[in-house]
């Protein structure tokens, strides 16, 4: 395969990037990479601990660097943290990549993330925070996405099949 991932998944917390990404990678017989895991490995602590100990700006800088490195790795499935697209350089780096936005509605996202302490930006009023994040990030997901797959009410296997088809070039880009 070429010198870039087969597919890059973006989307809000609760969209299913990690779950779908693992499934697609397994189905395609390629490696799965999660940008948050790369950051945690580099820092030697969890994303939540990085936010608490070092602050969001430090996390975002590490995220920018790790995403840039991961985008140069061939053939796998890469899932980005929900806020990775906030960085202008990261959005620029995504150009020319097969980026799939896993679009999720507020009700489904809230149900999926619940009161997850590993998601530091969602502590407190989860629903209110998700609404704010979706309002802020939706235009950026739209900007970077070559394809969009809706995940509300759709089985993980079906979402993974759609993403796999896109990754293999068996499905035309689906835009709203």
Where along the chain do its domains lie? 7-167
Q: Which of 37, 34, 4 is nearest to 22 (CA)?
A: 34
Distances (CA, A) of 24 to 8, 18, 87: 11, 10, 26
85-104 as b/e, with b when 16 or more CB fall inside 10 Å? bbbeebbebbeebbbbbbbb
Using alpha carbons only, give the angle 89, 15, 129 rounded to the nearest 5 degrees: 80
β-bridge pairing 77-79 and 32-34: parallel
Write out the two tokens for 123. Answer: 């502590």
Give this prediction's pTM. Answer: 0.88
Q: Looking at the domain 7-167, which fold is it?
A: Rossmann fold (3.40.50)
Q: What are the pLDDT tens digits along the chain (176 aa)?
A: 446 788 999 998 888 999 999 999 999 999 999 999 999 999 999 988 998 899 989 999 999 999 999 999 888 999 999 899 999 999 999 999 999 999 987 767 667 665 444 444 445 566 777 788 888 999 999 999 999 999 988 989 999 999 999 998 887 555 55
């Amino acid at each position: 395969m070429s010198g870039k991932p087969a597919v890059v998944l973006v989307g809000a917390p609760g969209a299913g990037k990690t779950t779908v990404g693992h499934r697609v990678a397994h189905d395609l017989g390629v490696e799965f990479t999660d940008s948050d895991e790369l950051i945690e490995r580099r820092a030697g602590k969890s994303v939540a601990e990085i936010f608490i100990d070092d602050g969001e700006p430090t996390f975002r800088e590490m995220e920018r660097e790790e995403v840039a490195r991961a985008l140069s790795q061939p053939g796998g499935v890469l899932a980005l943290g929900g806020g990775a697209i906030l960085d202008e350089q990261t959005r620029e780096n995504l150009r020319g990549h097969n980026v799939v936005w896993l679009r999720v509605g507020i009700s489904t996202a809230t149900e999926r993330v619940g009161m997850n302490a590993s998601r530091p930006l969602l502590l407190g009023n989860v629903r209110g925070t998700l609404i704010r994040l979706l309002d802020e990030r939706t235009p950026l997901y739209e900007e970077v996405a070559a394809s969009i797959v809706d995940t509300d009410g759709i089985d993980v296997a079906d979402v993974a099949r759609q993403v796999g088809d896109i990754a293999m070039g068996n499905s035309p880009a689906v835009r709203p």
